[in-house]
Amino acid sequence: MHEIPETRYAKSGEYHIAYQVVGSGPIDLVFIPGFISNVEHGWEYPPMAHFYRRLASFARLIIFDKRGTGMSDPVAPRQLPTLEERMDDVRAVMDAAGSERAAFVGVSEGGPMSLLFAATYPERTVAMVLVATFARVAWAPDYPLGTRPDVWDALLARMEEGWGKGVLLSSFAQSLAQDPAARQWWGRFQRQASSPGAVVAVMRMVYEIDTRSILSAVRVPTLVLHRSEDRLVPVELPRYLAAHIPGAKFVELPGTDHFFFAGDADAYLDRIEEFLTGERHGGTPDRVLATILFADIVGSTERAAQLGDARWHAVLDAFYGVARRQLERFRGREVDSAGDGFFAAFDGPARAIRCAEAIREGARPLGLELRAGVHTGECEVMGAKIGGIAVHIGARVAAQAGAGEVLVSGTVKDLVAGSGISFVDRGAHALKGVPGEWRLHAVAA
């Protein structure tokens, strides 16, 4: 488990702006968020945390919440900050962090503010990367690429009605639309980042922003990145943006997700790192020996139907709280999670087994029964992600486990000799998609 970085506050006029500094690379990198953010809650979702950590691996990363969002001071809906005031907030954060000059990564609604800052303060801007963003989003007679008012109003109506419940996840990240854990996280993130009224007011302001007239004044190295089938911001908008910034480079990548951290986020990160440093380190995976733990709740669908959505989500929150406490205790690292289970990595098989047992026991008072599988093997590691055949084997071992059972591969059994852990032979099994037969063993009570 990774600790959340320290949150500090910069004073911008009468407002306090929450910010964090992560990493110690040779360049400063200011991350300009989209329409909502929460500097602490973002770290709780592994894909977003991976994005931040990867940026911090080659730069001194500065992230912040705009005034009116997240952990920064709130503002009244009728007193929303202008782009100029948001520039004041960025300068205040840079000054507080001791940053004279920085590169900028502006995502989505953070793009227009990045453009204005780079054009206004080129002496403080090293370079700029714009991700899934635009110069203007609204339709106009001289800008037929934009979104028409009725479409935007319908979007805002849905947003206001379902805010805090994970609304519009399919629009922001189609690849996550069927992931209950992602929807649950997105709902919590919405609640902790903004209120329904405030977010609708912000989005109405976004519709009025037009930075087309300043594009020719941007004189810093600029990279524009976008996914070809982004459902929220059509690719024609960033194409226009790049075409009107002198010397800007445009890179179109495959994908449907608007969220910068969803889908193949490393494709974005590879290009950001290469653009800002001249090197790309994310493309060659490291290989390490790791112990993989897969665990999931037995009969989760039936249990959810029995409890109803609200109570089931509360039980799941409690379960993940138990699991994460035990992962921290046994030095495990959460790699991914789904609606009723998780995937973690350990640097030792005995700790993985003990962790699985502790989570199983902690889940029982919640009325939940767990099954788990453990395997040790060589894994490919890219940032926070782990892949390779060992991961597939771990998942297949877990699929063979019964209710309340911690099942391990023969490799794990051999490696924990002398640990005092006892096993019951479960025989040889064919694991789907994995060659050969594998001898499996259940951890004895």
Q: Report the mean per-residue pLDDT for the chain.
A: 90
Range in 103-112, 223-232, 433-442 the model is least confident about = 433-442
CA distance 320 to 110: 32
Instruction: Decide if pLDDT at 280 tops 70.
Output: no
Q: Report yes or no: 388 and 290 within 8 Å, Cβ to Cβ.
A: no
Domain 286-443 has CATH 3.30.70.1230: yes
Give the ranges where 145-279 is alpha helix by DSSP (H). Answer: 149-162, 169-172, 180-193, 196-208, 236-243, 265-277
Phi and psi angles of residue 183, each rounded to the nearest 5 degrees, phi first? -65, -40
Q: Report yes or no: 382 and 266 within 8 Å, Cβ to Cβ.
A: yes
Spatial CB neighbours of 85, under 8 Å, sequence gap ≥ 6? 12, 13, 67
Q: What is the mean pLDDT of residues 44-53?
A: 91
Q: Report yes or no: 77 and 201 within 8 Å, Cβ to Cβ.
A: yes
Q: What is the mean pLDDT of residues 214-222?
A: 91
Give how far the C-alpha of residue 371 lies from the chain's centroid of Cα atoms, to the nearest Å. 27
Q: How far is CA 55 from CA 33, 62, 261, in A?
A: 14, 10, 12
Range in 61-65, 124-128, 422-426, 431-435 the model is least confident about = 431-435
336 falls in which pLDDT band (50, 70, 90)?
A: confident
Question: Which residues share a beta bridge with 287?
Answer: 380
Helix (H) or strand (E) holding 37: none
Q: Give pLDDT, residue 1.
A: 40
Instruction: Decide if pLDDT at 3 tops 80.
Output: no
114 falls in which pLDDT band (50, 70, 90)?
A: very high
Closest to 123 measured CA to CA, from 105, 99, 106, 107: 99
Encoding tokens for residue 254? 């495959």
CA distance 160 to 205: 15
Q: What is the mean pLDDT of residues 202-226?
A: 92
257-272 per-position pLDDT tens digit: 999 999 999 999 999 9
Instruction: Decide if pLDDT at 281 tops 70.
Output: no
290 falls in which pLDDT band (50, 70, 90)?
A: confident
* SS3 of residue 145 by DSSP: coil
239-250 per-position pLDDT tens digit: 999 999 999 999
Q: What is the mean pLDDT of residues 197-213?
A: 91
Pseudo-torsion of CA 342, 320, 32, 6, nearest 10°? -120
Q: Give pLDDT, residue 245.
A: 96
Question: Which residues share a beta bridge with 85?
Answer: none
Helix (H) or strand (E) holding 399: helix 389-400
CB atoms within 10 A of CB 32: 27
Q: Give pLDDT, residue 157.
A: 96
2 falls in which pLDDT band (50, 70, 90)?
A: low
Encoding tokens for residue 11? 């004073």
Please state, for a pLDDT cut of 90, what percent of the chain lies above it. Answer: 68
Q: What is the mean pLDDT of residues 128-148?
A: 95
Instruction: Decide if pLDDT at 284 tops 50.
Output: no
Encoding tokens for residue 28? 């400063």
DSSP 210: B
Q: Give pLDDT, residue 142.
A: 94
Q: Report yes or no: 275 and 326 within 8 Å, Cβ to Cβ.
A: no
**At which residue do the structure tokens 């709280």 appear?**
321
211 falls in which pLDDT band (50, 70, 90)?
A: very high
Phi and psi angles of residue 152, each rounded to the nearest 5 degrees, phi first? -65, -40
CA distance 219 to 216: 8
Q: What is the mean pLDDT of residues 193-215?
A: 91
Question: Contacts from 298-307 at CB under 8 Å and sequence distance 24+?
Answer: 298/368, 298/369, 298/370, 298/371, 298/403, 298/404, 299/369, 299/403, 300/339, 300/340, 303/367, 303/368
382 falls in which pLDDT band (50, 70, 90)?
A: low
Q: What is the CATH number of domain 8-277?
A: 3.40.50.1820
Instruction: Decide if pLDDT at 315 tops 80.
Output: yes
Q: What is the mean pLDDT of residues 398-406?
A: 93
**At which residue do the structure tokens 């973002």 appear?**
42
Global confidence as pTM: 0.67
283 falls in which pLDDT band (50, 70, 90)?
A: very low
Q: Give pLDDT, residue 390.
A: 87
Instruction: Decide if pLDDT at 24 tops 60.
Output: yes
Instruction: Decide if pLDDT at 51 tops 90.
Output: yes
Residue ranges per structural domain of the chain: 8-277, 286-443
Closest to 290 measured CA to CA, from 206, 368, 393, 190: 393
